[in-house]
Amino acid sequence: MSSPTLTTLSRGRRWAAVAVLTASLLVIMMDMTILNIALPEMAAELHPDSDQQLWIIDVYSLVLAGLLVPFAAIADRWGRKRMLLLGYLIFGVASLLVLWAPTADAVIAVRALLGVGGAMIMPTTLSLIRVMFTDPRERATALSIWAAVSGLGAAIGPLLGGFLLEHFSWHSAFLVNVPLMLIAFAAGVLLLPESRVPNPGKLDFLAAGLALVGMTLTIWAIKMFGKTASFTAIDAWIALLAGLALLAWFGARCVRSAHPLLDLALFRSRVFSAGIIAALGSMFAMAAAMLLLAQWLQLVGGASPIEAGIQMLPIAITSALASLAAPLAARYIGTRAVLAGGIGFAGIGLLLLGVAPGGLDVTVILGSLALIGVGMGSLAIGSAMIMMGSPEEKAGSAGALEETSYELGAVLGVAVLGSISALLYRAELTVSPALAPLSDELSWQAHESLGAAVSIAQEGQFAGLAQAAGAAFTHSLQITGVTGGILMLIAGAIVFVVTPKGTDISGAEH
C-alpha cells in the first residue's frame, strides 16, 4: 500500500491518522508519570543513591525539553512522517533495552534515550494534525481529541503503573511501550502522510545547539530549586543564568535569521500568544496537583498505588470530557470565555483544597481533581488557537512552542508549588514534639519528605511522627492550594485579556 500524501488524503484516512497520532501521544504522556509508581521497587533492586534517583526521574524531561525545538526544525526539512517513525523506533528500542540495564546508571541512559524518541514524536503529532486538516472546524475537533488524550495519558500513568507493579516487575513499566510503539510504527507507515516545509533554508546548527543546551540548563535549574525548596544552591543559579543567556542568544539569532530555527514572530499573534499562556497555565496546575495529591492519598490517606491511581481518575475523566465539549461550548459562549473559564475552574479546584469546610479529605480531593480536569480541557481550545494563529509552513515551530510550554509549565508548577509545600511542611514539623525521640540524622530525614517520615515512623514505631508529619503535609497542601489557585485565576484573567474579542476557532474572522 502506498503512503498517502496531503493532497490524496481522504476524510477517513485523516481521522485514522489522528487515531495513530493520539495513541502514540498517549504512550509518551503515560511515560512521564508511570515511573513515579515504579521507582520504589526499582530502588530496592538497583540501590541508586539520591542523585541517581533524581536523574532517573528527571533526565527524560530534560532531554525531551532540550530537543523539542531542534527536532521540530529538522522534521520540517527532513519530513515530519520520517521523524515521527524514527521516534517510534527509538522509543520502542529504548524501552526494550531496560532488560539489559542492571544498574541505576544504565536505567538513566535508557530514560535519556526515551527522551530523544519522545522529542521526535510530541511536536510532530501536532504539526501533522495542523497540515492534514485544512478545515478549521475539523482541526478544532482533532485537536480536542489530541488534548483529551494528552491529559488522559498523564493521569492514567500512575494507575497503569500500579496495576503492572502488582503483577510484574518494575521492568514492565518500560516494556509496556514496546508493542504499542510497534503497532504505531506499522499504522504510521500505512496511514500517515509525508509533509515538509518547501524551501526552508539551511539548518542553523549553532541555534540548535543553543536551544538544546539553554533549555536543558534552564529546566534543570528550575527542577533543582524545586527539589531543594530553597534558592541558595549556587550551581542551580549558575545553570539558570547560563541557560537564560543561551536562550536569549538563541532568540536574537532566530529574530535576525531569514530562515529561523524557531519562528518567534508567531508571538505577534495575540491568538497564538493566548494559547501558549493557556497551555503553560494548565500544565502548571495539573503537574503540581498530580504530584502533591498522589503523595497525600498514599501517605496520609493510606491508599495503595493502584488505589491512588483510581482515586485520581476524576482528573482524567473530566479533562477528556471537557476537551471534547470545549469547541462546541466555544461556538455558544465564545472562545475566550471557554479558555479563560477553564483555567478559572482549575484555579477554583486548587482553592478548594484550602477553603473546603471541614478540612481536607478524599471527597474534597476528588472534587478538586475534577475541577482541575475541567481546566485541563481548555487545552483543546488553546491548541486550536495556537495552530490557528500560525501558518501551515510554521506548524513545526508552533508545535515545538506548544510542547515546550507544556514542559515548562509542568516544571514550574512542581518547582513553585512543590517548593512552597516543602517549606511549609518543614516549618511546621520543626516545632513538633514528635521529633524529640529521633536522632539528628532521622530528624533530618523526616524533614526531607513525608515519605521518609512515614517510613521512619513505621520502622521505629514512632506513631506520633506519622501523625505529625501527615498533619504538617496536609496543612502545607492546603496553603499551597490557595496559592496555586490565586495564581491560576490570575493566569485565566491574563488569557481573557490577551485573547481578541470574537476569536472563533471554527475559522470565522477574529
Q: Which residue's C-alpha cell is 543559579? A: 237
Residue 56 lies in a domain: yes
- Do 167 and 268 share a domain, yes or no? no
Is 34 inside a domain boundary?
A: yes
Q: What is the CA radius of gyration of the chain?
A: 22
The pLDDT score that the predictor gives to residue 496 is 92
Output the DSSP codes for 315-382: HHHHHHHHHHHHHHHHHHH-HHHHHHHHHHHHHHHHHHHHH-TT---HHHHHHHHHHHHHHHHTHHHH
Q: Does residue 452 share a domain with residue 337?
A: yes
Give the Å distances, CA to CA, from 41 to 27, 256, 291: 21, 50, 18
**Alpha-carbon gap, residue 399 to 411, rounded angstroms:** 18
pLDDT tens-place string over residues 253-305? 988 887 787 778 888 888 888 888 888 887 777 777 777 887 788 778 887 77
Is 66 part of a structural domain of the chain?
Answer: yes
Domain CATH code at residue 64: 1.20.1250.20
**How confident is the model at residue 248, as a pLDDT?**
94
If asked whether residues 178 and 272 sit together in one domain, one would say: no
- Is residue 220, in this structure, part of any structural domain at all? no
Residues 159 and 51 grouped into a single domain: yes
The per-residue pLDDT for 351 is 92
Residues 285 and 167 placed together within one structural domain of the fold: no
Instruction: Give the chain's residues under pLDDT 50.
Output: 1-2, 508-510
Q: Cell 502548571 belongs to which residue?
A: 284
Nearest Cα neighbor of 401 from 81, 21, 123 is 123
At residue 1, the pLDDT reads 44
Q: Is residue 231 part of a domain?
A: no
- Asked whether residue 178 falls in the same domain as residue 266, the answer is no
Same-domain status, 273 and 177? no
CB atoms within 10 A of CB 344: 23
List beta partners, residue 5. 194
Same domain, 186 and 300: no
Beta-carbon contacts of residue 50 (< 8 Å; ≥ 6 apart): none
For the chain, counts of helices (H) and of strands (E): 20, 0
Q: Global pTM?
A: 0.78
On whether both 315 and 459 belong to a single domain, the answer is: yes
In a domain, 214, yes or no: no
In a domain, 407, yes or no: yes
pLDDT of residue 508: 39
Q: Are 142 and 280 part of one and the same domain?
A: no
Range of the domain at 303: 262-510
Residue spans of alpha helices (H) in 431-462: 440-448, 450-460
Instruction: Please give the distance of CA 278 from its chain centroid, rounded to a whole number.
Output: 14
Owner of C-alpha cell 483544597: 353
Q: Single out the residue of 371, 1, 336 nearest to residue 191, CA to CA.
A: 1
Does 52 share its domain with 129? Answer: yes
> Considering all CA atoms of the chain, what is the largest pairwise distance in Å, rounded to the nearest integer?
74
Phi, psi of 198 (to 5 degrees): -70, 135
How far apart CA 84 and CA 445 sit, in angstroms, is 44
Please identify which residue in the block is written with the cell numbers 546548527: 205
Q: Indicate whether 240 belongs to any domain.
A: no
Q: What domain count does the chain have?
A: 2
| pLDDT tens per residue across span 327-373 | 888 888 888 888 899 899 989 999 998 888 777 888 899 999 899 88
> Residues 6 or more apart from 333 whose CB is under 8 A from it?
none
Q: Are 190 and 288 members of one domain?
A: no
